[in-house]
Each structure stands twice: as structure tokens, then as C-alpha cells.
Structure 1
Amino acid sequence: MHTVQAWLKAKQRSWQFKKLKNPKFTHLFTPTIPGRYVCFDCETTGLSPKQDKIISLSAIIIEDNQVLTSQALNLWIKQSQPINAKSIKVHRIRNADLTHHHNVMNEQEAISQFLKFIEGATLVGYFLEFDVAMINQVIKPWLGVNLPHPQIEVSKLYYAQQLAKQSPGVYQGDIDLRFKVMLNQLQIPNFAQHDAFSDALMTALMFIKLNKYLQP
């Protein structure tokens, strides 16, 4: 089964490579480096990958079971539209904050840096599907491809860990996959949710504790 899955992934990757519009981004298809992970998180204008935009993005390298915070990537992206009040209540980022930020970039410039940063890495995240969809919303029309990198969802690892603790054949209730609950169960401090860097860091620390549950 694993051989078939690997073959299908390789075929899909090859097909995507042929769709790449810009040869400057062939590094997207660098072979995956074993043991190299990048945990990332986005703060956005809302929860719709089709309509909303990335405001800030942080990515942290994990190598040799260590979180390399000194090599973190932190990006702030210019917004052409007002950030709505509901999202401001969540991440506390206003248009004015971006206007005065010393390192704010346009969307393609910021995402270009991110794409180079994740070269050869496996992506890690909490509800990673959403963050990947936000990136794909930018790069699909621009480069013709979606992110081809392998992806690991930490809530699945946590679920596997909690399931392994349960007695066989005994139903012990649903497993709570809320971020705060996972942090508490794994004894990881809650630094400050809804900040891209803090969320990426906390998720990376969860991954370190859970990666023995990775499927081969």
C-alpha cells in the first residue's frame, strides 16, 4: 500500500512540475530532506481561502528534534482593503499597524521568501489545511501549482497519541482537539494564541513531543 501511495505522490509531483509557470521557482520541487520540517502559521483577514488574504506569516525550522527559533521567518503583508473588525479582534492587527511596520511587503514578495524558506522541507501545522489553502490561493494563479511539499497535521499526531492511551475496546469519549486543550495535555505553555510566530512556535513544540506517532 505504501509503495502505491509513494508512486501516486511521485506522479502527482511530476505532473505539478510540468505545470510550473516560472523556472525561478523550481526549488519548490527540491527532493524532501529527511528530518527537515518547517512549522508555519498565518494570520488572515478571515476564514475563507477563496476571499480572504494573509496578513502575517511565521515559519520555524525544526531539525534534529530541535526548534530553531533563531532562524524563524516572520512576514507582514500589505493589504489593499480594510481589515475587518472581526478578524482584528482575533489577531489584533490593524491596517495602521501594517502601514507603520518596517518590514511590510507586497504579497508576492513575501510569499516568494516563504517558498524559498521551505525548500526541501516537510510542512507542519495545526489545521494546516487552511494555511496551505491560503498559500495556494496566492501561488496557483501566479505559478500554476499548489504547494507540493509533504504535510503533517499535529492534531492527527495528538489524536494517535491519545488513542494509544485508551484501553482496547473501552470507549472513553471523544478526543478534544482544541489547541488550548492539546497544549495543556502536552504541558506546553500558552505564549499568546493568534500571533503567527507564537502559534507556529507552540505547534512546533507539540510536534517535537508527538513525532514518534508519525506514520512510516
Structure 2
Amino acid sequence: MLRRLQRLVDRTRLADPRYTFLFDPEPPDEVVALDCETTGLNPRQDEIITIAAIRIQGKRILTSQPFEAVAQTKRKSHPEAIKVHRLLDADVQNGRPMREILPDLLHFIGSRPIVGYYTDFDVRMIDRYLGNFLKIRLPNRRIDVSSLYYKCKYGDAPDHVMIDLSFAAILQDLKIPQLAQHDAFNDALMTAMAYVQLHDMLRRGVRIARNRAGAVSDLGIGA
């Protein structure tokens, strides 16, 4: 209900009618996996360095048609952030301003739901720029693979069970190869692979067994 109201408010605030497509109905069985690398972890102050997005149609991950961009930043990366994404300030000097990246990104995403790992952070980072650009926040529905994973593995777990929603745990249980992390494209790709598996498992009522790592049990979700 709140999300619907926010969409209505944002649609009236939209500063450029050329972007009303963001509020169109979602294309059936299509989503976009998205990841950002940033100068730090404060959405109010830090900036996007790199951003990648990959469309998913059904079970098909369209890796041949990705969106990738390097952004110029005014703020220097925190030393701890550099250790994570390994991008120096010099590496992004030739990037594009976010005001040039945003139109391309928005057309790539369209009205598709956004898939990510702890998606709220990436969306909040984009919303910082979008507020200045279109006076709105991203209206797209968000799907977090950690939530899907929780439903598949821990949805019926007793209170004493230790819960691990780390990205590494998700990849291990789903037997997804661990690419070099904290690279926007790699992270978006691994997220896309996790989404396709988890979405299919939930649809079929398949659980991830908690008794041994990586095992999948064909038990109904309601069983």
C-alpha cells in the first residue's frame, strides 16, 4: 500500500515526462540484476564509482547485453573501500558524470523489478542522483536474493538455528562459481545466477537442506 502511494506521488513529481515509462507495468517474467561499487558505505555522502546491470528473461541471463559504466566522482574513496573494490581514484578519472549515465541506465532498467543482494543500498545510492535528475526515487519493485534464500533455507527453521545470509553462503549452497567479488559486473552476474535458481526453487517448492552444505531437498515449502 505504501509503495503504491509512493509511486503515485513520484509520478506526479516526475520532472521529465520522457521517463514516464518507469511507471509502466512490469514486463512479464523480466527483471534486472544490478550492482554498484561506491566510494564508501554512506548513501548520503558517498558516490557511485561503477555500476552494472544485467537483464534476466525467464531463466535466461542476457550476459551479452549488459549495462556497465564508470562514473566520475568528486569524493575520494575511503581507504577501506579501495581495499574492497580495488579501484583507485585515478582509475575513475575518465569516467562519465552520473547525469550522463542515468538516462542510459534508466532506459536499460525500464519498469523491470530490480534484483540485488541487499538491494536497498544500491537503490539508495542511485536515488541520490535521481532526486536531482528527475525529482523522484526509483519506483521499481525490489527483489533481494538474501530474502529468497532465507525462504528457501530458513523459512521453517526453529529459533535456535544459526542463520547465515552471506553472499558466500548463498553461492556455496547454490553451487555458483565465485567470481572476483566487488566488481560490479561480476557481482551482478552472480546475483542473477542466484536469482534464477532461487526463483525457480520457490516456484517448484524446493528447499535448501540445512543438514549438509549445498544439498537441495525436493520437499514442498508447505511440508
User: What code does the residue aligned with 2:168 have?
Assistant: K
Alignment-mate amino acid for residue 130 of structure 1:
F
Structure 1 equivalent of residue 172 of structure 2: 184
Higher relative contact order (CA 8 A, sep 6+): 1
Q: 1:39 — aligned with what?
A: 33
Q: How far apart are the structure 2 equivalents of 1:150 and 1:171? A: 30
For 1:34 and 1:145, locate their aligned partners in 2 and report how far apart those are by CA, in whole Å.
24
Unpaired segments ≥5 residues, structure 2: 204-223
Identify which range, 76-85 or 37-46, moves more after superposition.
76-85
User: Mean Cα displacement is larger for which, 84-93 or 24-33?
Assistant: 24-33
**Deviation string for 1:161-183 (max 9, x for gaps)?**
002575xxx55512200111111
What's the % identity of the aligned pairs? 39
Task: Report the Cα offset of residue 11 of structure 1.
Answer: 3.6
**How many pairs were matched up?**
202
2: distance between equivalents of 1:55 and 1:19?
28
1:126 aligned partner, one-letter code:
Y
Distance 2:19 2:29 in 1: 23
Amino acid paired to 2:185:
F
Matching residue of 2:122: 131
Unpaired segments of 5 or more residues in structure 1? none
Specify the alignment match of 1:119 in structure 2. 110
Q: Establish whether residue 76 from structure 1 lines up as the match of residue 70 from structure 2.
A: yes
Query: How many angstroms does 1:113 deviate by?
Result: 1.1
Alignment root-mean-square deviation, CA:
1.7
Write out the 4+ residue segments of structure 1 that deviate beyond 4 Å after TM superposition.
Answer: none
Distance apart, 1:55 and its partner CA: 0.2
Whole-angstrom distance in 2 between the partners of 1:106 and 1:133: 18
Does structure 2 retain, via aligned residues, the 8 Å contact 1:57–1:74? yes
**Cα deviations by residue, 1:28-72 (Å, 9 ceiling, x for unpaired):** 212211211000000000000000000000000000211110011
- Give the structure-2-normalised TM-score: 0.85
Matches within 5 A, 1:1-216: 5=1, 9-99=3-93, 101=94, 104-164=95-155, 166=157, 170-171=158-159, 173-212=161-200, 213=202
